[in-house]
Structure 1
Protein backbone atom coordinates (compact mmCIF):
# COMPACT_ATOMS: atom_id res chain seq x y z
CA UNK A 1 0.00 0.00 0.00
CA UNK A 2 1.08 3.59 -0.55
CA UNK A 3 1.09 5.93 2.44
CA UNK A 4 1.68 9.59 3.10
CA UNK A 5 2.61 10.93 6.51
CA UNK A 6 2.49 14.06 8.62
CA UNK A 7 5.12 15.62 10.86
CA UNK A 8 5.88 13.80 14.10
CA UNK A 9 7.80 14.82 17.21
CA UNK A 10 8.26 12.63 20.33
CA UNK A 11 8.62 14.11 23.81
CA UNK A 12 8.94 12.78 27.33
CA UNK A 13 6.10 13.31 29.81
CA UNK A 14 5.92 16.18 32.27
CA UNK A 15 3.07 16.79 34.71
CA UNK A 16 1.53 20.25 34.68
CA UNK A 17 -1.94 21.72 34.94
CA UNK A 18 -3.73 20.64 31.73
CA UNK A 19 -6.82 22.77 32.17
CA UNK A 20 -5.45 25.65 30.06
CA UNK A 21 -5.97 23.68 26.86
CA UNK A 22 -7.89 20.59 27.85
CA UNK A 23 -10.75 22.14 29.76
CA UNK A 24 -14.19 22.46 28.18
CA UNK A 25 -13.82 26.23 28.03
CA UNK A 26 -11.09 25.90 25.40
CA UNK A 27 -12.25 22.88 23.45
CA UNK A 28 -15.27 22.40 21.22
CA UNK A 29 -16.40 18.77 21.32
CA UNK A 30 -16.86 17.31 17.85
CA UNK A 31 -18.74 14.22 18.97
CA UNK A 32 -20.27 13.89 22.43
CA UNK A 33 -20.05 10.11 22.22
CA UNK A 34 -16.27 10.39 22.36
CA UNK A 35 -16.46 12.34 25.61
CA UNK A 36 -18.52 9.69 27.37
CA UNK A 37 -16.43 6.72 26.28
CA UNK A 38 -13.30 7.41 28.30
CA UNK A 39 -11.92 3.94 27.62
CA UNK A 40 -12.12 4.24 23.82
CA UNK A 41 -8.91 3.80 21.83
CA UNK A 42 -9.27 7.09 19.99
CA UNK A 43 -11.22 10.30 20.40
CA UNK A 44 -11.51 13.47 18.32
CA UNK A 45 -12.25 17.02 19.39
CA UNK A 46 -11.56 20.36 17.78
CA UNK A 47 -9.08 23.00 18.85
CA UNK A 48 -11.20 26.07 18.23
CA UNK A 49 -8.41 28.56 18.84
CA UNK A 50 -6.13 27.16 16.13
CA UNK A 51 -8.74 25.70 13.76
CA UNK A 52 -7.67 22.07 13.75
CA UNK A 53 -9.10 18.71 14.70
CA UNK A 54 -7.42 16.97 17.61
CA UNK A 55 -7.21 13.18 17.75
CA UNK A 56 -6.12 11.35 20.88
CA UNK A 57 -5.18 7.72 20.34
CA UNK A 58 -4.18 5.02 22.78
CA UNK A 59 -1.78 2.42 21.45
CA UNK A 60 -0.71 -0.76 23.28
CA UNK A 61 2.87 -0.59 21.99
CA UNK A 62 3.39 3.11 22.71
CA UNK A 63 6.09 3.71 25.35
CA UNK A 64 5.76 7.49 25.47
CA UNK A 65 3.56 10.25 24.15
CA UNK A 66 4.08 11.37 20.56
CA UNK A 67 2.69 14.36 18.74
CA UNK A 68 2.32 14.91 15.03
CA UNK A 69 0.46 17.12 12.59
CA UNK A 70 -1.25 15.48 9.63
CA UNK A 71 -0.62 17.58 6.55
CA UNK A 72 -3.41 15.92 4.61
CA UNK A 73 -6.20 16.38 7.18
CA UNK A 74 -4.97 19.42 9.11
CA UNK A 75 -5.28 17.35 12.27
CA UNK A 76 -3.21 17.26 15.45
CA UNK A 77 -2.66 13.65 16.58
CA UNK A 78 -1.52 12.69 20.07
CA UNK A 79 -0.64 9.02 20.65
CA UNK A 80 -0.31 7.84 24.24
CA UNK A 81 0.40 4.59 26.10
CA UNK A 82 -2.56 2.68 27.51
CA UNK A 83 -1.73 3.64 31.09
CA UNK A 84 -1.58 7.37 30.31
CA UNK A 85 -4.66 9.43 31.24
CA UNK A 86 -6.19 12.30 29.30
CA UNK A 87 -4.96 14.94 31.72
CA UNK A 88 -1.39 13.93 30.90
CA UNK A 89 -2.18 14.11 27.19
CA UNK A 90 -3.64 17.58 27.68
CA UNK A 91 -0.57 18.71 29.57
CA UNK A 92 1.66 17.28 26.88
CA UNK A 93 -0.18 19.11 24.11
CA UNK A 94 -0.36 22.35 26.08
CA UNK A 95 3.41 22.37 26.57
CA UNK A 96 4.01 22.13 22.83
CA UNK A 97 1.13 24.20 21.48
CA UNK A 98 3.54 26.71 19.90
CA UNK A 99 5.12 23.87 17.92
CA UNK A 100 1.65 22.77 16.81
CA UNK A 101 0.70 26.30 15.73
CA UNK A 102 3.93 26.65 13.75
CA UNK A 103 3.31 23.37 11.91
CA UNK A 104 -0.31 24.26 11.15
CA UNK A 105 0.70 27.72 9.91
CA UNK A 106 3.17 26.09 7.52
CA UNK A 107 0.47 24.02 5.82
CA UNK A 108 -0.86 25.20 2.45
CA UNK A 109 -4.30 26.77 2.45
CA UNK A 110 -7.33 24.72 1.52
CA UNK A 111 -8.70 25.42 -1.98
CA UNK A 112 -12.44 24.71 -2.03
CA UNK A 113 -14.47 23.77 -5.07
CA UNK A 114 -15.95 27.15 -5.97
CA UNK A 115 -16.86 29.06 -9.09
CA UNK A 116 -13.83 30.45 -10.98
CA UNK A 117 -11.33 28.54 -8.83
CA UNK A 118 -8.42 26.76 -10.53
CA UNK A 119 -7.77 23.09 -9.83
CA UNK A 120 -5.77 20.27 -11.44
CA UNK A 121 -7.37 17.45 -13.39
CA UNK A 122 -5.11 14.65 -14.65
CA UNK A 123 -2.19 16.95 -13.93
CA UNK A 124 -3.44 19.89 -16.01
CA UNK A 125 -4.80 23.14 -14.59
CA UNK A 126 -8.53 23.61 -15.11
CA UNK A 127 -10.94 26.37 -14.21
CA UNK A 128 -14.17 25.52 -12.38
CA UNK A 129 -17.33 27.13 -13.72
CA UNK A 130 -20.63 26.74 -11.86
CA UNK A 131 -22.91 27.51 -14.79
CA UNK A 132 -26.27 27.16 -13.06
CA UNK A 133 -27.64 25.62 -16.28
CA UNK A 134 -30.93 23.84 -15.67
CA UNK A 135 -31.34 21.95 -18.93
CA UNK A 136 -28.59 19.45 -18.22
CA UNK A 137 -26.96 17.85 -15.18
CA UNK A 138 -23.99 16.47 -17.12
CA UNK A 139 -20.57 17.86 -16.18
CA UNK A 140 -18.33 18.53 -19.17
CA UNK A 141 -14.85 19.85 -19.91
CA UNK A 142 -14.47 22.52 -22.57
CA UNK A 143 -11.95 25.20 -23.47
CA UNK A 144 -12.86 28.85 -22.91
CA UNK A 145 -12.14 31.75 -25.27
CA UNK A 146 -8.50 31.77 -24.15
CA UNK A 147 -8.17 28.00 -24.73
CA UNK A 148 -8.08 27.31 -21.00
CA UNK A 149 -9.74 23.99 -20.08
CA UNK A 150 -12.83 24.56 -17.96
CA UNK A 151 -14.94 22.13 -15.94
CA UNK A 152 -18.56 23.13 -16.51
CA UNK A 153 -20.80 22.17 -13.59
CA UNK A 154 -24.51 22.73 -14.29
CA UNK A 155 -27.46 22.71 -11.91
CA UNK A 156 -28.11 24.68 -8.71
CA UNK A 157 -24.95 26.43 -7.60
CA UNK A 158 -25.41 25.52 -3.94
CA UNK A 159 -25.12 21.84 -4.95
CA UNK A 160 -22.37 22.29 -7.53
CA UNK A 161 -19.42 21.49 -5.25
CA UNK A 162 -20.97 18.20 -4.17
CA UNK A 163 -21.84 17.33 -7.78
CA UNK A 164 -18.28 18.09 -8.88
CA UNK A 165 -16.87 15.91 -6.11
CA UNK A 166 -19.04 12.95 -7.15
CA UNK A 167 -17.99 13.46 -10.76
CA UNK A 168 -14.32 13.39 -9.77
CA UNK A 169 -14.93 10.13 -7.86
CA UNK A 170 -16.44 8.67 -11.03
CA UNK A 171 -13.58 9.92 -13.20
CA UNK A 172 -11.04 8.41 -10.81
CA UNK A 173 -12.83 5.08 -10.80
CA UNK A 174 -13.02 4.97 -14.59
CA UNK A 175 -9.31 5.67 -15.02
CA UNK A 176 -8.26 3.32 -12.23
CA UNK A 177 -10.44 0.45 -13.43
CA UNK A 178 -8.79 0.70 -16.83
CA UNK A 179 -5.26 0.80 -15.41
CA UNK A 180 -5.90 -2.01 -12.94
CA UNK A 181 -7.36 -4.24 -15.65
CA UNK A 182 -4.36 -3.69 -17.92
CA UNK A 183 -1.76 -4.34 -15.24
CA UNK A 184 -3.61 -7.31 -13.74
CA UNK A 185 -3.87 -8.93 -17.17
CA UNK A 186 -0.10 -8.70 -17.62
CA UNK A 187 0.40 -10.62 -14.37
CA UNK A 188 -2.54 -13.02 -14.95
CA UNK A 189 -4.25 -11.61 -11.86
CA UNK A 190 -7.67 -10.14 -11.16
CA UNK A 191 -8.85 -7.65 -8.57
CA UNK A 192 -11.97 -8.70 -6.70
CA UNK A 193 -13.28 -5.17 -6.29
CA UNK A 194 -12.15 -1.57 -6.86
CA UNK A 195 -13.33 1.12 -4.47
CA UNK A 196 -12.71 4.87 -4.57
CA UNK A 197 -12.56 6.60 -1.19
CA UNK A 198 -11.72 9.91 0.43
CA UNK A 199 -8.64 8.32 2.01
CA UNK A 200 -6.49 10.40 4.31
CA UNK A 201 -3.54 8.13 5.02
CA UNK A 202 -2.75 6.29 1.78
CA UNK A 203 -3.02 6.58 -1.99
CA UNK A 204 -4.06 3.00 -2.42
CA UNK A 205 -4.38 -0.28 -0.57
CA UNK A 206 -4.88 -3.98 -1.28
CA UNK A 207 -6.74 -6.29 1.08
CA UNK A 208 -5.94 -9.94 1.64
CA UNK A 209 -9.19 -10.75 -0.20
CA UNK A 210 -8.02 -9.01 -3.37
CA UNK A 211 -10.04 -5.80 -3.04
CA UNK A 212 -8.29 -2.59 -4.06
CA UNK A 213 -9.02 0.87 -2.66
CA UNK A 214 -7.77 4.18 -4.03
CA UNK A 215 -7.91 7.86 -3.18
CA UNK A 216 -10.14 9.90 -5.47
CA UNK A 217 -7.50 12.64 -5.50
CA UNK A 218 -5.37 10.53 -7.83
CA UNK A 219 -7.51 11.95 -10.65
CA UNK A 220 -5.94 15.33 -9.89
CA UNK A 221 -2.43 13.97 -10.51
CA UNK A 222 -0.87 13.35 -13.94
CA UNK A 223 -2.07 10.14 -15.53
CA UNK A 224 1.32 8.43 -15.22
CA UNK A 225 1.09 8.88 -11.44
CA UNK A 226 -2.38 7.35 -11.21
CA UNK A 227 -1.21 4.49 -13.41
CA UNK A 228 1.75 3.82 -11.13
CA UNK A 229 -0.46 3.61 -8.04
CA UNK A 230 -2.70 1.17 -9.90
CA UNK A 231 0.34 -0.95 -10.81
CA UNK A 232 1.61 -0.78 -7.23
CA UNK A 233 -1.62 -2.16 -5.80
CA UNK A 234 -1.98 -4.80 -8.52
CA UNK A 235 1.48 -6.08 -7.60
CA UNK A 236 0.20 -6.47 -4.04
CA UNK A 237 -2.32 -9.01 -5.33
CA UNK A 238 0.66 -11.33 -5.71
CA UNK A 239 3.03 -9.98 -3.05
CA UNK A 240 1.54 -8.50 0.14
CA UNK A 241 4.82 -6.82 1.09
CA UNK A 242 7.41 -4.42 -0.26
CA UNK A 243 10.20 -6.94 -0.74
CA UNK A 244 12.39 -7.47 -3.83
CA UNK A 245 9.84 -9.72 -5.57
CA UNK A 246 7.16 -7.06 -5.13
CA UNK A 247 9.26 -4.30 -6.70
CA UNK A 248 10.27 -6.66 -9.50
CA UNK A 249 6.57 -7.06 -10.35
CA UNK A 250 6.01 -3.31 -10.27
CA UNK A 251 8.95 -2.77 -12.61
CA UNK A 252 7.68 -5.50 -14.93
CA UNK A 253 4.31 -3.82 -15.46
CA UNK A 254 5.41 -0.19 -14.96
CA UNK A 255 9.14 0.05 -15.85
CA UNK A 256 9.36 3.84 -15.41
CA UNK A 257 7.71 3.88 -12.00
CA UNK A 258 10.45 5.82 -10.18
CA UNK A 259 9.41 9.17 -11.69
CA UNK A 260 5.81 8.67 -10.53
CA UNK A 261 6.95 7.53 -7.10
CA UNK A 262 9.05 10.66 -6.71
CA UNK A 263 6.19 12.87 -7.94
CA UNK A 264 3.94 11.49 -5.21
CA UNK A 265 6.55 12.00 -2.54
CA UNK A 266 7.24 15.61 -3.50
CA UNK A 267 3.93 16.90 -4.85
CA UNK A 268 1.36 14.37 -3.72
CA UNK A 269 0.51 16.01 -0.37
CA UNK A 270 -0.43 19.21 -2.23
CA UNK A 271 -3.39 17.40 -3.80
CA UNK A 272 -5.10 17.48 -0.42
CA UNK A 273 -5.51 21.22 -0.72
CA UNK A 274 -8.37 20.68 -3.15
CA UNK A 275 -11.88 19.57 -2.30
CA UNK A 276 -15.31 20.70 -1.11
CA UNK A 277 -15.50 22.96 1.91
CA UNK A 278 -14.49 21.17 5.10
CA UNK A 279 -17.49 19.63 6.79
CA UNK A 280 -19.52 19.20 3.61
CA UNK A 281 -20.60 15.82 2.43
CA UNK A 282 -20.41 14.69 -1.10
Structure 2
Protein backbone atom coordinates (compact mmCIF):
# COMPACT_ATOMS: atom_id res chain seq x y z
CA UNK A 1 0.00 0.00 0.00
CA UNK A 2 1.28 3.46 -0.89
CA UNK A 3 0.59 6.49 1.24
CA UNK A 4 2.05 9.97 1.50
CA UNK A 5 2.53 12.87 3.85
CA UNK A 6 3.43 16.45 3.02
CA UNK A 7 7.10 15.50 3.41
CA UNK A 8 7.60 12.02 1.98
CA UNK A 9 6.09 8.97 0.36
CA UNK A 10 5.30 5.93 2.49
CA UNK A 11 5.08 2.34 1.25
CA UNK A 12 3.45 -0.11 3.67
CA UNK A 13 3.72 -3.88 3.32
CA UNK A 14 1.60 -6.11 5.54
CA UNK A 15 3.28 -9.39 6.50
CA UNK A 16 2.93 -11.93 9.34
CA UNK A 17 5.85 -10.41 11.28
CA UNK A 18 6.08 -9.94 15.04
CA UNK A 19 7.40 -6.38 15.03
CA UNK A 20 7.04 -3.51 12.59
CA UNK A 21 10.17 -2.41 10.70
CA UNK A 22 10.89 0.93 9.05
CA UNK A 23 13.53 1.89 6.49
CA UNK A 24 14.25 5.18 4.77
CA UNK A 25 15.31 4.57 1.18
CA UNK A 26 17.92 6.64 -0.70
CA UNK A 27 15.20 8.61 -2.50
CA UNK A 28 13.56 9.50 0.84
CA UNK A 29 10.72 7.00 0.58
CA UNK A 30 9.73 5.42 3.90
CA UNK A 31 9.16 1.66 3.70
CA UNK A 32 7.28 -0.03 6.52
CA UNK A 33 6.78 -3.75 7.01
CA UNK A 34 4.13 -4.38 9.64
CA UNK A 35 1.65 -7.02 10.82
CA UNK A 36 -2.02 -6.75 9.95
CA UNK A 37 -3.86 -4.29 12.17
CA UNK A 38 -0.71 -2.45 13.25
CA UNK A 39 -1.22 1.32 13.59
CA UNK A 40 1.27 2.60 11.00
CA UNK A 41 0.06 6.22 11.27
CA UNK A 42 1.08 6.35 14.93
CA UNK A 43 4.32 4.53 14.12
CA UNK A 44 5.18 7.20 11.54
CA UNK A 45 4.36 10.01 13.95
CA UNK A 46 6.53 8.47 16.67
CA UNK A 47 9.43 8.09 14.24
CA UNK A 48 9.02 11.46 12.52
CA UNK A 49 12.24 12.97 13.90
CA UNK A 50 14.18 9.80 13.07
CA UNK A 51 12.78 9.82 9.53
CA UNK A 52 13.81 13.43 9.00
CA UNK A 53 17.30 12.70 10.32
CA UNK A 54 17.71 9.71 7.99
CA UNK A 55 16.43 11.71 5.00
CA UNK A 56 18.88 14.51 5.82
CA UNK A 57 21.67 11.95 5.99
CA UNK A 58 20.71 10.63 2.54
CA UNK A 59 20.63 14.16 1.12
CA UNK A 60 24.03 14.89 2.61
CA UNK A 61 25.50 11.72 1.11
CA UNK A 62 24.04 12.56 -2.29
CA UNK A 63 25.40 16.12 -2.08
CA UNK A 64 28.90 14.74 -1.55
CA UNK A 65 28.72 12.69 -4.73
CA UNK A 66 28.60 13.43 -8.44
CA UNK A 67 25.37 14.97 -9.69
CA UNK A 68 24.11 14.06 -13.15
CA UNK A 69 21.05 15.29 -15.00
CA UNK A 70 17.89 13.26 -14.42
CA UNK A 71 17.83 12.04 -18.04
CA UNK A 72 21.45 10.78 -17.98
CA UNK A 73 22.74 7.44 -16.74
CA UNK A 74 25.53 7.33 -14.18
CA UNK A 75 28.26 5.16 -15.71
CA UNK A 76 31.97 4.99 -14.86
CA UNK A 77 31.53 7.96 -12.56
CA UNK A 78 30.02 10.29 -15.14
CA UNK A 79 26.71 10.95 -16.91
CA UNK A 80 25.87 9.19 -20.18
CA UNK A 81 22.98 10.08 -22.48
CA UNK A 82 20.68 7.15 -23.28
CA UNK A 83 19.16 7.07 -26.75
CA UNK A 84 16.69 4.69 -28.36
CA UNK A 85 18.06 2.76 -31.33
CA UNK A 86 17.77 -0.51 -33.17
CA UNK A 87 20.90 -1.97 -31.58
CA UNK A 88 22.95 -1.62 -28.41
CA UNK A 89 26.14 0.41 -28.39
CA UNK A 90 28.18 2.45 -25.90
CA UNK A 91 30.19 5.41 -27.15
CA UNK A 92 32.59 6.22 -24.32
CA UNK A 93 34.09 9.17 -26.20
CA UNK A 94 30.77 10.99 -26.56
CA UNK A 95 29.27 9.41 -23.40
CA UNK A 96 26.25 8.04 -25.24
CA UNK A 97 24.50 4.68 -24.81
CA UNK A 98 22.10 3.39 -27.46
CA UNK A 99 19.56 0.61 -26.82
CA UNK A 100 16.09 -0.34 -28.11
CA UNK A 101 14.53 -0.84 -24.65
CA UNK A 102 15.40 -1.15 -20.93
CA UNK A 103 15.80 -4.98 -20.90
CA UNK A 104 18.20 -4.77 -23.84
CA UNK A 105 20.05 -1.93 -22.14
CA UNK A 106 20.49 -4.01 -18.99
CA UNK A 107 21.83 -6.99 -20.94
CA UNK A 108 24.16 -4.76 -22.93
CA UNK A 109 25.57 -3.19 -19.76
CA UNK A 110 25.95 -6.64 -18.19
CA UNK A 111 27.97 -7.88 -21.15
CA UNK A 112 30.19 -4.79 -21.18
CA UNK A 113 30.70 -4.85 -17.43
CA UNK A 114 31.53 -8.56 -17.39
CA UNK A 115 34.49 -7.95 -19.69
CA UNK A 116 35.66 -4.98 -17.64
CA UNK A 117 35.38 -6.61 -14.22
CA UNK A 118 36.89 -9.90 -15.40
CA UNK A 119 40.00 -8.08 -16.56
CA UNK A 120 40.25 -6.16 -13.29
CA UNK A 121 39.82 -9.34 -11.25
CA UNK A 122 42.54 -11.11 -13.23
CA UNK A 123 45.03 -8.28 -12.74
CA UNK A 124 44.34 -7.85 -9.03
CA UNK A 125 44.22 -11.61 -8.34
CA UNK A 126 47.68 -11.98 -9.86
CA UNK A 127 49.00 -9.10 -7.75
CA UNK A 128 47.46 -10.56 -4.58
CA UNK A 129 48.47 -14.15 -5.31
CA UNK A 130 44.95 -15.57 -5.12
CA UNK A 131 42.90 -17.78 -7.44
CA UNK A 132 39.18 -16.91 -7.48
CA UNK A 133 36.55 -19.26 -8.86
CA UNK A 134 33.59 -18.25 -10.97
CA UNK A 135 32.75 -14.57 -11.43
CA UNK A 136 29.03 -13.74 -11.74
CA UNK A 137 27.28 -10.45 -12.45
CA UNK A 138 23.96 -9.74 -10.73
CA UNK A 139 21.72 -6.78 -9.98
CA UNK A 140 21.96 -6.86 -6.19
CA UNK A 141 19.86 -4.78 -3.80
CA UNK A 142 22.16 -4.44 -0.81
CA UNK A 143 25.74 -5.43 -1.72
CA UNK A 144 28.42 -4.28 -4.11
CA UNK A 145 29.85 -7.78 -4.21
CA UNK A 146 30.34 -11.02 -2.32
CA UNK A 147 32.75 -13.95 -2.06
CA UNK A 148 31.58 -17.46 -1.22
CA UNK A 149 33.46 -19.99 0.88
CA UNK A 150 34.12 -21.85 -2.39
CA UNK A 151 35.95 -18.81 -3.75
CA UNK A 152 33.28 -17.74 -6.23
CA UNK A 153 32.75 -14.00 -6.71
CA UNK A 154 29.53 -12.07 -7.29
CA UNK A 155 29.59 -8.47 -8.43
CA UNK A 156 26.72 -6.02 -8.57
CA UNK A 157 26.04 -4.60 -12.03
CA UNK A 158 25.69 -1.20 -10.32
CA UNK A 159 29.47 -1.21 -9.94
CA UNK A 160 29.52 -0.11 -13.58
CA UNK A 161 28.23 3.27 -12.37
CA UNK A 162 31.35 3.84 -10.27
CA UNK A 163 34.60 5.54 -11.26
CA UNK A 164 37.39 3.06 -11.96
CA UNK A 165 39.22 3.49 -8.65
CA UNK A 166 36.15 2.53 -6.61
CA UNK A 167 35.43 -0.43 -8.84
CA UNK A 168 39.03 -1.49 -8.27
CA UNK A 169 38.56 -1.19 -4.51
CA UNK A 170 35.53 -3.48 -4.50
CA UNK A 171 37.53 -6.07 -6.45
CA UNK A 172 40.37 -5.86 -3.91
CA UNK A 173 37.86 -6.15 -1.07
CA UNK A 174 36.27 -9.32 -2.44
CA UNK A 175 39.57 -10.92 -3.40
CA UNK A 176 40.84 -10.33 0.14
CA UNK A 177 37.96 -12.50 1.34
CA UNK A 178 39.62 -15.45 -0.38
CA UNK A 179 42.14 -15.31 2.46
CA UNK A 180 39.96 -13.94 5.28
CA UNK A 181 36.20 -14.52 4.97
CA UNK A 182 35.19 -12.15 7.78
CA UNK A 183 35.73 -8.43 8.40
CA UNK A 184 38.22 -8.88 11.24
CA UNK A 185 41.24 -6.61 11.81
CA UNK A 186 43.29 -9.16 9.86
CA UNK A 187 41.02 -8.67 6.86
CA UNK A 188 41.28 -4.87 6.89
CA UNK A 189 45.03 -5.10 7.34
CA UNK A 190 45.20 -7.24 4.20
CA UNK A 191 43.00 -4.80 2.28
CA UNK A 192 45.19 -1.89 3.38
CA UNK A 193 48.28 -3.50 1.83
CA UNK A 194 46.58 -3.37 -1.58
CA UNK A 195 44.38 -0.29 -1.15
CA UNK A 196 45.70 2.05 1.58
CA UNK A 197 42.85 4.56 1.10
CA UNK A 198 40.17 1.94 1.74
CA UNK A 199 38.41 4.01 4.44
CA UNK A 200 37.88 6.87 1.97
CA UNK A 201 36.65 4.35 -0.59
CA UNK A 202 34.10 2.95 1.87
CA UNK A 203 32.74 6.46 2.46
CA UNK A 204 32.57 7.19 -1.27
CA UNK A 205 30.74 3.92 -1.90
CA UNK A 206 27.98 4.98 0.48
CA UNK A 207 27.63 8.25 -1.42
CA UNK A 208 27.52 6.56 -4.79
CA UNK A 209 24.97 4.03 -3.59
CA UNK A 210 22.55 6.87 -2.85
CA UNK A 211 23.33 8.55 -6.18
CA UNK A 212 22.72 5.31 -8.10
CA UNK A 213 19.46 4.59 -6.28
CA UNK A 214 18.26 8.09 -7.19
CA UNK A 215 19.28 7.74 -10.84
CA UNK A 216 16.38 7.35 -13.27
CA UNK A 217 18.05 4.89 -15.63
CA UNK A 218 19.41 2.58 -12.95
CA UNK A 219 15.95 2.45 -11.41
CA UNK A 220 14.47 1.70 -14.82
CA UNK A 221 16.69 -1.30 -15.63
CA UNK A 222 16.47 -2.92 -12.19
CA UNK A 223 12.68 -3.21 -12.28
Structure 2-normalised TM-score? 0.74
Residues 48-92 of structure 1, C-alpha deviation per residue, up to 9 Å, x if partnerless? 554636374747xxxx6442223379561437xxxxx533xx22x
* Cα distance change on mapping 1:248 and 1:72 into 2, 3 Å: farther
Question: Helix, strand or coil: the match of 1:258?
Answer: helix
1:278 to partner: Cα distance: 5.8
Residues 164-196 of structure 1, C-alpha deviation per residue, up to 9 Å, x if partnerless? 222222233222222222222223222221122
Residue in structure 1 matched with residue 187 of structure 2 by the alignment: 246
Across the aligned residues of Structure 1 and Structure 2, the Cα RMSD in angstroms comes to: 3.4
Residue in structure 2 matched with residue 86 of structure 1 by the alignment: 36
2:132 maps to 1:191: yes
Greater percentage in helix = 2
Structure 1 residues not aligned, in runs of 5+:
1-45, 80-84, 109-115, 144-148
* Cα distance change on mapping 1:96 and 1:275 into 2, 3 Å: same
- Conservation of the 8 A alpha-carbon contact between 2:10 and 2:32: no
Residues 223-267 of structure 1, C-alpha deviation per residue, up to 9 Å, x if partnerless? 101110111011111101111211122122223333322211233
Residue in structure 2 matched with residue 36 of structure 1 by the alignment: none
1:279 to partner: Cα distance: 7.7
1:154 to partner: Cα distance: 4.5
Residue in structure 2 matched with residue 140 of structure 1 by the alignment: 90
> Which of 208, 211, 219 matches 2:152?
211
Residue in structure 2 matched with residue 267 of structure 1 by the alignment: 208
CA distance in 1, matches of 2:54, 2:136: 31
1:122 to partner: Cα distance: 0.6
Structure 1-normalised TM-score? 0.60
* Cα distance change on mapping 1:86 and 1:52 into 2, 3 Å: closer
Residue in structure 2 matched with residue 169 of structure 1 by the alignment: 110
CA distance in 1, matches of 2:96, 2:104: 12
CA distance in 1, matches of 2:14, 2:120: 35
1:64-83 alignment, distance < 5 Å: 65-71=20-26, 74=29, 76-78=31-33
1:104-143 alignment, distance < 5 Å: 117-130=71-84, 132=85, 134=86, 137-141=87-91, 143=93
How many residues align? The count is: 206
Residue in structure 2 matched with residue 228 of structure 1 by the alignment: 169
Question: Helix, strand or coil: the match of 1:242?
Answer: coil
CA distance in 2, matches of 1:122, 1:189: 26
Residue in structure 2 matched with residue 150 of structure 1 by the alignment: 95
CA distance in 1, matches of 2:17, 2:51: 23
Q: Specify the structure having the higher radius of gyration (Cα).
A: 1
Residue in structure 1 matched with residue 119 of structure 2 by the alignment: 178
